[in-house]
Amino acid sequence: MTETPNILRIATAQFNPIVGDVAGNLEKAIEAIKDADRHGADLVLFTELFISGYPPEDLVLKPAFLEKCAEAIEKLAEYTADKDGPGIIIGYPRQNGDKRHNSIAVIDKGEIIAIRDKVDLPNYGEFDEKRVFDAGEMPGPVNFRGVRLGIPICEDIWGDLDVCETLAECGAEILLSPNGSPYYRDKVDVRHQVVLRQVIQSELPLIYANQLGGQDELVFDGASFAFNADKTLAFQMSQFEETLSISTWKREDDVWVCSDGPKSNIPEKEEADYRACMLGLRDYVNKNGFKNVVLGLSGGIDSAICAALAVDALGEERLRCVMLPYRYTSELSLKDAADCAKALGCRYDIVPIEEPVQGFLSSLGDMFDGTDQGITEENIQSRARGVILMAISNKFGSMVVTTGNKSEMSVGYATLYGDMNGGFNPIKDLYKMQVYALSRWRNTQVPPGALGPSGEVIPMSIIEKAPSAELRPDQTDQDSLPPYPVLDDILECLVEKEMSTADIIARGHEEAIVHRIEHLLYIAEYKRRQSAPGVKITKKNFGRDRRYPITNRFRDR
């Protein structure tokens, strides 16, 4: 008969899997198990769907993919067969007859001793698991070396199905929850509140293991943690860093209490947002096999912060900045762009666009004869720049980083097939005022893991001057838009909060401006559908979270 232990050392694996790289994720898991064994761990807790990477989306509809994942789980079991090492809790997508489940396997000493399936499948925001998975049955505890473990999977602790309470009623002694919870601003506090609710209801401690890494638009920030049954924070792992942490749990009066674990600090919001953008860009570039990136450095704030993010994420040698001046480009912008590139230490080229723009205008001269110059001619400038950047991309294999912020993307102040050209946009979900805040923050701080220099990397003249696309003489953004603090507040009310226009007007905004911004937001949907993916920072980004029809005549009047 197995003696009931009074000490349990649990390794929480906060790692960065790659979706679809089953062999690579298996190898990463084995290295983590070896490391946990060296530190005397009894159990290694991996994150949700670790073997497949999360979220695998429609990959799980391919039988061959599910077979590879199942084979990886069998190989993990074989790996532990002749070793007196730690047990494993690891997530994978599972074929079960004619059903597919988001599952975990519990492996110990060469055997898969239990399988549990996710009960509550999320179907909101960035999640659409009901498309590809079937809900599992309400789980019971797993007997692991004499300790009854409850293993609720991600949404099982977020939803209202009382999975944790059921596990407690069935005799679970401690809850271990593998998660794939993407970042948005202040998400750590939200997770803490979710877990505290479950701890209070179940009267059990809970370990929350969260994935790390960028996956297309989503960034998983780690920040794994645990709460004791008495509602005290048992341990807190770092945010945005790949790590394996050991926590020691002791049975005291039939209650498991954490006696030893990491106590990391969570970054403040500007640092967290910046590091999320940096991690998202780094993983998108590296996981998709790009050797380097290129961007148009205009002398404006958006391209400057994207350049800083690229250097911080990838290193100065992997970024090429290109200034693409036209007759309306100011001397100040030329100086600012050069100073920014110099401060970052990256390659800087100048490619004038006078000849290609005039070539387009000449070709269209007869057709445009008798018409007034306006937005069409301005867009030709932007599209000429886009063509040149894409040519550089094709010639040298560099991914184009596109640089439009959320304020611009919201109201359509971006040129399709022009400045919207690119493979990825690290600031796509940052409003203009947030771009300014992060730029000021970066000038005084170097985030952990950044490869860029310290000091002022975004010249203050860029931050202080009036923003302008410089597509006509003396142009500024505020010629046709309200001041950015006003615009951003209206947009946040419309997009994140889904407020009525009446309620937004009641906040003190002018009625005509609110209705105009709402109109611009809706008619720009077709542009956003064709925009590059970008890091999710807010609760409702364009793309996975907010899915509005392109053809849409609704106006809130």
How confident is the chain (557 residues) per 10-residue block, as mean pLDDT? 80 96 96 94 97 94 95 94 89 95 95 94 82 92 94 91 91 96 94 95 95 95 96 96 95 90 92 97 97 95 96 97 92 94 97 95 92 90 95 96 94 91 95 96 96 96 80 67 92 94 94 94 93 92 84 82
Angle at 189 between CA 228 and CA 242, to 5 degrees: 80
CATH 3.60.110.10 is the classification of domain 7-266: yes
Q: Kindly tell me the burial class for residue 424, based on how many C-beta atoms sit within 10 Å of its own C-beta (0-12, 13-18, 19 or more).
A: buried
Instruction: Return the pLDDT at 13.
Output: 97
3-class secondary-structure state, position 180: coil
Report the distance separating Cα 460 and Cα 525, nearest Å: 34
The one-character DSSP state at 549 is -
Contact 494, 524 (CB under 8 A): no
Sequence-ordered list of residues with C-beta below 8 angstroms from that of 54, at least 6 positions apart, any chain: 17, 19, 47, 48, 91, 180, 211, 215, 220
Per-domain residue ranges of the chain: 7-266, 270-529
Strands in 43-45's sheet, in edge-to-edge order, are: 111-117, 99-108, 87-96, 43-45, 7-14, 243-252, 255-260
Contact 239, 188 (CB under 8 A): yes
Q: Is 118 a catalytic residue?
A: yes
Catalytic residue chosen out of the listed positions 28, 69, 118, 408: 118
3-class secondary-structure state, position 462: helix
* Closest by Cα among 58, 59, 81, 55 to 68: 59
Instruction: Return the pLDDT at 468.
Output: 66
Instruction: Return the pLDDT at 161.
Output: 84
Instruction: Return the pLDDT at 254.
Output: 87
Fold classification of 270-529 is: Rossmann fold (3.40.50)
Sequence-ordered list of residues with C-beta below 8 angstroms from that of 197, at least 6 positions apart, any chain: none
Phi/psi for 15 (5° steps) reads: -120, 175
Q: Is 48 a catalytic residue?
A: yes
Catalytic residue chosen out of the listed positions 28, 48, 155, 492: 48
| Confidence (pTM) | 0.93
**Amino acid (one-letter) located at 221:** D
The distance of Cα 5 from the centroid of its chain, to the nearest Å, equals 39
Report the distance separating Cα 234 and Cα 388, nearest Å: 54
Q: Alpha helix (H) ranges present in 412-550?
A: 432-442, 460-464, 484-495, 501-506, 511-523, 525-529
Catalytic residue chosen out of the listed positions 28, 69, 129, 154: 154
Q: Which residue has the tokens 């505020």?
A: 478
Beta carbons within 10 angstroms of residue 200's beta carbon: 12
* Closest by Cα among 162, 195, 197, 201 to 177: 195
Contact 490, 411 (CB under 8 A): no
Instruction: Return the pLDDT at 1.
Output: 45
Q: Is the peptide bond before 205 cis (omega within 30 degrees of 0)?
A: no
Strand partners, 87: 43
**Amino acid (one-letter) located at 468:** S
Q: Kindly tell me the burial class for residue 265, based on how many C-beta atoms sit within 10 Å of its own C-beta (0-12, 13-18, 19 or more).
A: exposed
Instruction: Return the pLDDT at 448.
Output: 95
Q: Is 57 a catalytic residue?
A: no
Report the distance separating Cα 426 and Cα 395, nearest Å: 23
Phi/psi for 413 (5° steps) reads: -85, 60
Instruction: Return the pLDDT at 127.
Output: 83
3-class secondary-structure state, position 239: strand
